[in-house]
Amino acid sequence: TAYGPQQIASEALLVRGLNAPTPPRSDLTVVSSNVAVQGTILLITGQMRNDGATSASNVQVVASLYDGANQIVNAATSGTSTLAAGATGPFSITFPANWQGYTTIDLQVQGS
């Protein structure tokens, strides 16, 4: 049976959200990066740094690949780590497939 606006007496929409306990950190940065193709794999490696005054946990780098029309091709993340205040650490992101055709890479560091 099809239902249209005439059959709906009333409708309600309930939206619930969760407040994040702390805002995302803006003091985590990518210091350097290198892109290499190894066979059929795209490998992005580099260094990330905690410019903050406190230790950062669950730190990971998110790599987003975009094509020439600025459309997302693929995205992946590094493993997570902890970075002490002022510390620098390595990251590695692997794209085993579906990376061909990208023209731009955006790297962002996330953590808490």
Summarize the chain as % helix, strand, coil (round to 5): 5, 50, 45
**Is the Cβ–Cβ distance between 45 and 33 less than 8 Å?**
yes
What proportion of the chain, given as a percentage, has pLDDT over 70? 80
Query: What digits encode the pLDDT tens for the residues 72-100?
Result: 999 999 999 999 999 999 999 999 999 99
Work out the mean pLDDT of the chain and round it to a whole number: 87
pLDDT at 32 over 90: yes
Six token digits for residue 89? 């650490």
pLDDT at 107 over 80: yes
Q: Which residues sit opposite 46 in a β-bridge? A: 33, 91
Burial of 60 (0-12, 13-18, 19+ CB in 10 A): middle
- Whole-prediction pTM value? 0.78
DSSP code of residue 70 = S
Query: Which of 83, 76, 75 has its CA nearest to residue 54?
Result: 83
Among 12-16, 45-49, 65-69, whose mean pLDDT is lowest? 12-16
Instruction: Tell me which architecture the domain covering 23-110 has in CATH.
Output: Sandwich (2.60)
Distance between CA atoms of residues 44 and 34, nearest Å: 6
State mean pLDDT over 54-65: 97
